[in-house]
Chains A and B, each alone.
Chain A
């Protein structure tokens, strides 16, 4: 069963806060839900499906459903890290297509900035996690795991630090127009390379921001979407795929996007050249470069050349990306960037991105998430959306 065209994104909301020391995570979830429901022009009681992930306090989706007073026919608390919210969109399409719910709410919120989290701390995922005794002693933090993927990509394909820096430069060109972005200053390749080395070869400016905040989406069946007053955003392709250490046959140079992207493109029945805008998860600059290759926007190993020379900058580049400034400059709430990727793609398809970065005639957009550790243990999720 395909879910192509069986559901629409009717509401999207990005919380404007980037630091919320005095607001609970539960309240942020509820504020995001409120924002997305208002954006759609719906009422809370219209929601009959709810999706959240590991950032939501409580047991699965139950505590937040309780907190927000949702009356549900369907819920799903699939957690695949930062890609969860793209996975949720796909699952919401399936649930709606199967008649299990009509209007699905997806929320994300977190306060890593207020709570002092960073990508340079070793984080255990609890007791009994089978890989942890074989990894934690070596000090894996988010940035050095992604750094090893970058090192190997450079070794195999000749990718350069300058090429990686171009990803950040492009994001900063977009962020200057976003009043809510954490980092609004346009930076140069030289400035990226001169920023402090965090974990070779990734500099500080190769890394995303740490921000509080959140976001929410509303997915609805076509009849409901067409009854609302907002521009239509139809979901035409969804794909998800985990990739892991494969028993020790490790290859850090590609991600699960090779599978999730193929599934989504096949369902959508479109070509890469048709995509006018792409939201690509940008936890680090290398994440974008490898993902673009894996999704098929350029041949494997050519990602460095593809992202260089401003090719990702709206208005001048071949593939405008992350026109809100992305995780690199704008927002990375809960250390999970998938939600904001979908939200900016929705803005682009609605024609509601900032005029300076709005892609003309944006009728097809892609959003992609990577949750976990690039190259080794993560889940990739791809969405393809169409205007109208």
Chain B
């Protein structure tokens, strides 16, 4: 598990997102995919935001992607990095970048998922350069 410099607020699972957080606790990243239209989406929902079908299912992501965009929050002590990462599975998710030189990050850089502890809740997926 990656060390978080910042105290990470705990996400509150809901019945519809519980499997995502249970998998996160096991170090696995899930992506919801629609079997009707074939498209993955994020954040996960029971009803596909593209075609409206309720035939959605959880699929495990390989946990690899590239940085779509990021920003180093310099006003925080210590600074932290918020980012959007595009997974190989095709969705772009808000996340954080950890275990990295914040001044050497670049858009397009390959990253892999790491799970970061939160303040009293399930861990959240963040990413680190690979």
Q: Name A's B-contacting residues (CB within 8 A).
A: 120, 122, 127, 130-141, 143-145, 147-149, 151-152, 155, 196-202, 246-250, 252
Contact = CB atoms under 8 A, between A and B. Distances in A.
A144 B74 CA distance: 10
A148 B8 contact: no
A248 B92 contact: yes
**What are the 6 tightest A-B residue pairs by CB atom distance, in nearest-first order?**
A248-B91, A133-B11, A147-B71, A248-B42, A247-B41, A134-B43
B82 A131 contact: no
Interface string B59-94: 000000000111111111000101110000011111
B70 A148 contact: yes
23 contacts: A120-B73, A120-B75, A130-B45, A131-B43, A135-B94, A136-B11, A137-B96, A138-B94, A138-B124, A138-B126, A139-B73, A139-B80, A147-B71, A148-B70, A151-B69, A202-B71, A246-B49, A247-B50, A248-B41, A248-B43, A249-B92, A250-B84, A252-B68
Contact of B70 (A151, A196, A249, A250): A151
A144 B82 contact: yes
Nearest to A201: B71
A139 B45 CA distance: 22
A250 B10 CA distance: 24
Most chain B CB within 10 A, of A122, A136, A138, A149, is at A138
B12 A133 contact: yes
Interface residues of B, number: 45
A141 B6 CA distance: 14
Contacts of A120: 73, 75-76
Given A147-B71, A151-B107, A152-B68, A133 B82 contact: no
A131 B42 CA distance: 9
Contacts of A198: 73-75
B69 A155 contact: yes
B17 interface: yes
A85 to B, nearest CB: 28
Contacts of B118: 137
Contact of B93 (A145, A199, A248, A252): A248
Contacts of B84: 148, 250, 252
B41 A133 contact: no
B87 to A, nearest CB: 9
B51 to A, nearest CB: 10
B38 interface: no
B19 interface: no
A138 B90 CA distance: 20
Given A137-B8, A138-B124, A200-B71, A148 B93 contact: no
A199 B75 contact: yes
A132 B92 CA distance: 16
B39 interface: yes
A137 B74 CA distance: 17
Contact of A138 (B41, B49, B50, B96): B96
B49 A247 contact: yes
B35 to A, nearest CB: 15
Contacts of B73: 120, 139, 141, 143-144, 198-199
Contacts of A122: 9
A200 B74 contact: yes
Contacts of A145: 82
A158 B21 CA distance: 38
Contact of B39 (A143, A147, A197, A247): A247
A62 B108 CA distance: 50
B96 A252 contact: no
Contacts of A197: 74
A285 to B, nearest CB: 14
A268 B14 CA distance: 46
Contacts of A252: 68-69, 84
A58 to B, nearest CB: 27
B33 to A, nearest CB: 11
A216 B68 CA distance: 40
Nearest to A375: B69
A143 B79 CA distance: 14
Contact of B6 (A139, A144, A200): A139
B110 to A, nearest CB: 16
Contacts of B116: 137
Interface in B1-51: 6, 8-14, 17, 21, 39-43, 45, 48-50
Nearest to B50: A247
Contacts of A196: 74
B124 A137 contact: yes
A379 B65 CA distance: 29
